[in-house]
Amino acid sequence: MFPQGTTKRVLAAVLAVGGCTEMSGTFCEDVPRACVAGDGGIADGGAGDTGARDGGLSDGGPSDSGVAPDGATPTFRVRGQLFGATAPVRLALAGIAVPEEIVVAAPGTFEFAARLPDRAGYTVTVLGQPAREFCSVIGGDGRIAAADVASVQVVCAADRLVFLSSLTYTGAIGGIAGADARCQALAVGAGLRGMRPSRFLAWYSGGTVTPASRFSRSTVPYVLVNGTVVANGWSDLTDGTLAHAINLTEGGMAGPRLAAGNCTNAVRTGTTAQGSEVAGESCLAGTSDAMFHKSALGDIEQTGNPPGVPGAFTDACSAPNCHVALPIYCFEQ
């Protein structure tokens, strides 16, 4: 087929290009490794060989940067930061065939194991709120843009408890300070917040001293002691409509159902839905139990939603009632 000696000359030329110069016998024997896997050579795929050095072939292994082997589709991760949580938080990643769930034990970075292709949509959500906290996701929806996603933020903050007092009081409750002291004592007695009791104030008004003037204006939800959301922050609380009636006590039980004047299920407030005083209707700012003094009353089963009256949870009716013992609302600050 070929002139005698051609094969030997071709092998010699090839081996010389690869850096092999030693020939013995008819073929190249004891060929140095540099001849087959040296600079510019073809990797043998053996253990420890990267297969990608100095122009060699890639072994196709995965990389954190999303680089894929030739012909494969690059994929990318979704990661982020958890802030403020005091308990483990369960997160879910949607946008893949089977949504992935992870538990983030403490504030810090988190990362989903799944890899998404370029331009794939993704959604990160909180699966159930931790006890006594509310977590929201910032930047949790988007689309992969040829890079890992690292901008997801999950921010957790303690919610604010609200309850109906299990005990009842006449209008001579000791003023606003006396009403606050009753709320605080009930919260501590019920063990709310455990060893770190918060400050609780009464939803009660007298002159210029009102919830609107002295409450911290929460940006996290107000919730009953069983976790039921009453309002999503101060603005939602004071718009005249609640998500749920304030009808559970500090112990999580149904509150007292009492009538006063023409109100049923009455609670003494002296306060409008916006948190200001109902003028002249606060039992003289909580200092009088005279039967002829008036107080604005709320209905503990009202939310303000139809068919109720907006604001009826706090200002449903008014009557001379300061001598009648009624519950009060208490809000965590």
Which of 22-26, 99-103, 200-204, 291-295 has the least mean pLDDT? 22-26
Give the start-to-end residue ranges of the domains of the chain: 1-59, 75-158, 160-333
Work out the mean pLDDT of the chain and round it to a whole number: 81
- The answer to whether 75-158 and 160-333 have equal CATH topology is no
Q: Is the pLDDT of residue 56 over 60?
A: no
From the centroid of its chain, how far is CA 75?
27
The CA distance from 62 to 315, in Å, is: 64
Q: Is the pLDDT of residue 313 over 50?
A: yes
Helix (H, G, I), strand (E, B) or coil at 10: helix
- pTM of the predicted structure, to 2 decimals: 0.60
Which runs of E-coded beta strand occur in 112-199? Answer: 116-117, 121-126, 133-138, 141-143, 149-158, 160-164
Question: pLDDT by residue (tens digit) across 83-109?
Answer: 988 889 999 999 888 999 999 999 999
* Average pLDDT of the residues in 133-147: 91
Question: pLDDT by residue (tens digit) across 242-276?
Answer: 999 999 999 999 989 998 877 889 999 999 999 99
Candidates 1.25.40.10, 3.10.100.10, 3.40.50.300, 3.60.110.10; correct CATH number of 160-333? 3.10.100.10
Which runs of E-coded beta strand occur in 69-128? Answer: 75-76, 78-83, 89-94, 100-104, 108-111, 116-117, 121-126
Q: Yes or no: is domain 75-158 CATH 2.60.40?
A: yes
Non-local (6+) Cβ contacts of 304 within 8 A are: 240, 241, 242, 273, 310, 311, 312, 313
From the centroid of its chain, how far is CA 146?
27
Q: What is the pLDDT of residue 321?
A: 85
Confidence bin at 135 (pLDDT 50/70/90): confident
| Between 219 and 141, residue with greater pLDDT | 141
- Per the CB < 8 A criterion, the answer to whether 183 and 166 are in contact is no
Question: pLDDT by residue (tens digit) across 198-208?
Answer: 899 999 999 89
Q: How many helices and strands, by DSSP H and E, does the chain display?
A: 6, 18
Question: pLDDT by residue (tens digit) across 155-200?
Answer: 888 889 999 999 999 999 999 999 999 999 999 999 887 655 689 9
Q: What is the pLDDT of residue 54?
A: 38
- Per the CB < 8 A criterion, the answer to whether 204 and 276 are in contact is no
Structure tokens at 285: 């700012």
